[in-house]
């Protein structure tokens, strides 16, 4: 199922489309859709000193001028992924509590009726971490969340909901993801995300942020001087799409939302703000990529979460799990130190800017886009309906 997964492949699809139009073979023309991750957008904005909205509109112009039909932002599929992950966590937590109340083991027949009783729940959106777990630590797989990553949720929406909306079959859409890492290419190529009926993938090709900038050079395109085009909207084809931010940091961001959501759903606690450290206790160890966040009431811990970034932190978590002494309910596991903002496919500054300062800058750009809670995202609510 692995394709070349490069921007050359996108060029070839656009070339075949043009040829098919010239020869009057309209049935052979594919609708080309590009979905841009907010981390990639932030990386380009920081590098060229533009705002995220300018980057989104200029990339729309750039890809449209190459022959792409629709350019979307993946912030809202990220909101979907956050909401589904939070719901999955609450369900698992309740199952886990019930099993403990009844003193049932996981293998007990009575456990079977309880939803997903395995805790801690481990994050599922980083393919670097997933591949590592699958190859070397099969015993932790039941603990990994079953929610798809934002990239793959976007893939499902584009090839199902959007395909129906514009009246084409999934195989007549060529869907490209602009992403912050090379491992997202592997994720898109997984057989889990291949539609046997239509012989097509949810995401056909992934291009990294670095490769997009390479395309600028190949196309003699200057993003600093580029015209802008209105953003596309997945749900309202007649209206300009809105650029929305997403809850949490650009590194992973799932922990913050899941904790705030669970505090409300499980304990009726509102006003929790993980970022502002309101209602929670945050402890960062000597290794800044390992952080514990605890929801406490009068010094009594109710929920204990951790974020583990980079392989050193991942190995630490695996060791704890194998030793049976893990005390966390949820762990946000990401393979890159500092998480996705520092992904292998992101732009790097010249040697004069320390990497730590650069990451902080890209994160600031990412956070500069207004965001509301995923539960208030109107597009997400419309799609649920």
Least Å distance, CB 348 to ligand SF4, is: 13
The DSSP-derived string for 23-75 is: TT-GGGPPEEEEEE-HHHHHHHHHHHT--HHHHHHHHHHHHHHHT-SEEEETH
CB 26 within 8 A of CB 63: no
Q: Is 339 in the site for ligand SF4 (CB under 6 A)?
A: yes
Least Å distance, CB 334 to ligand SF4, is: 4
Least Å distance, CB 26 to ligand SF4, is: 38
Dihedral of the alpha carbons of 20, 24, 30, 35, in degrees to the nearest 10: 90
Q: 46-73 burial, b if ≥16 CB within 10 A, otherwise e?
A: bbbebebbbbbbbbbbbbbebebbbbbb
N-term to C-term CA, the chain:
33
Can you tell me the distance from the alpha carbon of 129 to that of 233, in angstroms, rounded to the nearest whole number? 32
Q: Is 244 in the site for ligand SF4 (CB under 6 A)?
A: no
Task: Figure out which of the listed residues 180, 229, 244, 326 binds ligand SF4, where binding follows CB under 6 A.
Answer: 180
Q: Is 128 in the site for ligand SF4 (CB under 6 A)?
A: yes
Task: Name the residue nearer to ligand SF4 (CB basis): 99 or 184.
Answer: 184
Size of the site for ligand SF4 (CB under 6 A): 12
Can you tell me the distance from the alpha carbon of 315 to that of 35, in angstroms, rounded to the nearest whole number? 33
Task: Name the residue nearer to ligand SF4 (CB basis): 60 or 152.
Answer: 152
Q: Is 181 in the site for ligand SF4 (CB under 6 A)?
A: yes
Task: Figure out which of the listed residues 183, 256, 289, 292 binds ligand SF4, where binding follows CB under 6 A.
Answer: 183
Can you tell me the distance from the alpha carbon of 337 to that of 353, in angstroms, rounded to the nearest whole number? 18
Q: Is 42 in the site for ligand SF4 (CB under 6 A)?
A: no
Task: Name the residue nearer to ligand SF4 (CB basis): 116 or 183.
Answer: 183
Task: Name the residue nearer to ligand SF4 (CB basis): 200 or 209.
Answer: 209
Can you tell me the distance from the alpha carbon of 143 to that of 321, in angstroms, rounded to the nearest whole number? 10
Can you tell me the distance from the alpha carbon of 105 to that of 110, in angstroms, rounded to the nearest whole number? 9
Stretch that binds ligand SF4, among 54-62, 180-188, 315-323, 376-384 (CB under 6 A): 180-188
Task: Figure out which of the listed residues 260, 343, 361, 366 binds ligand SF4, where binding follows CB under 6 A.
Answer: 343
Q: Is 340 in the site for ligand SF4 (CB under 6 A)?
A: yes
Q: Is 250 in the site for ligand SF4 (CB under 6 A)?
A: no
Task: Figure out which of the listed residues 86, 122, 126, 258 binds ligand SF4, where binding follows CB under 6 A.
Answer: 126
Task: Name the residue nearer to ligand SF4 (CB basis): 127 or 374.
Answer: 127
Strands (E) across 93-141 are located at 121-122
Least Å distance, CB 146 to ligand SF4, is: 17
Least Å distance, CB 278 to ligand SF4, is: 27
What are residue 192's phi and psi, to 5 degrees?
A: -55, -30
Stretch that binds ligand SF4, among 217-225, 274-282, 338-346, 375-383 (CB under 6 A): 338-346
- Three-state SS for 347? coil
Token pair of 138 as six digits:
């099969």
Least Å distance, CB 341 to ligand SF4, is: 8
Can you give the binding site for ligand SF4, defined by CB under 6 A?
Answer: 126-128, 180-181, 183, 334-336, 339-340, 343
């Amino acid at each position: 199922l692995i394709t070349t997964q490069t921007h050359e492949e996108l060029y070839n699809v656009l070339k075949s489309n043009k040829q098919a139009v010239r020869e009057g073979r309209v049935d052979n023309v594919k609708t080309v859709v590009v979905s841009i991750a907010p981390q990639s957008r932030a990386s380009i904005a920081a590098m060229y000193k533009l705002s995220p909205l300018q980057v989104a509109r200029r990339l729309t112009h750039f890809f449209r001028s190459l022959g792409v039909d629709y350019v979307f932002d993946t912030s809202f599929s990220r909101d979907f992924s956050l909401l589904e992950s939070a719901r999955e966590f609450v369900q698992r937590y309740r199952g886990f509590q019930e099993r403990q109340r009844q003193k049932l083991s996981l293998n007990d027949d009575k456990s079977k009726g309880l939803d997903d009783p395995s805790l801690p729940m481990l994050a599922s959106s980083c393919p670097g971490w997933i591949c590592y777990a699958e190859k070397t630590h099969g015993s932790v797989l039941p603990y990994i969340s079953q929610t798809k990553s934002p990239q793959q949720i976007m893939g499902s929406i584009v090839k199902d909901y959007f395909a129906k909306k514009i009246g084409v079959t999934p195989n007549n859409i060529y869907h490209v993801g602009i992403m912050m890492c090379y491992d997202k290419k592997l994720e898109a190529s997984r057989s889990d995300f291949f539609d046997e009926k239509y012989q097509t993938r949810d995401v056909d090709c992934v291009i990294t942020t670095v490769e997009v900038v390479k395309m600028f050079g190949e196309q003699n395109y200057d993003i600093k001087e580029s015209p802008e085009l209105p953003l596309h909207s997945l749900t309202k084809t007649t209206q300009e799409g809105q650029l929305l931010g997403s809850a949490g940091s650009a590194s992973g961001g799932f922990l913050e939302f899941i904790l705030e959501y669970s505090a409300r759903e499980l304990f009726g606690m509102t006003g929790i703000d993980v970022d502002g450290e309101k209602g929670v206790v945050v402890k960062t160890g000597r290794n800044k990529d390992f952080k514990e966040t605890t929801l406490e009431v009068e010094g009594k811990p109710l929920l204990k979460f951790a974020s583990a970034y980079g392989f050193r932190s991942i190995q630490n978590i695996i060791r704890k799990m194998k030793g049976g002494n893990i005390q966390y309910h949820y762990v946000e596991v990401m393979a890159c130190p500092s998480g996705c903002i520092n992904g292998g496919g992101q732009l790097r500054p010249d040697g004069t800017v320390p990497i730590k300062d650069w990451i902080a800058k890209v994160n600031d750009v990412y956070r500069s886009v207004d965001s509301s809670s995923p539960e208030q995202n109107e597009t997400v609510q419309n799609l649920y309906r």
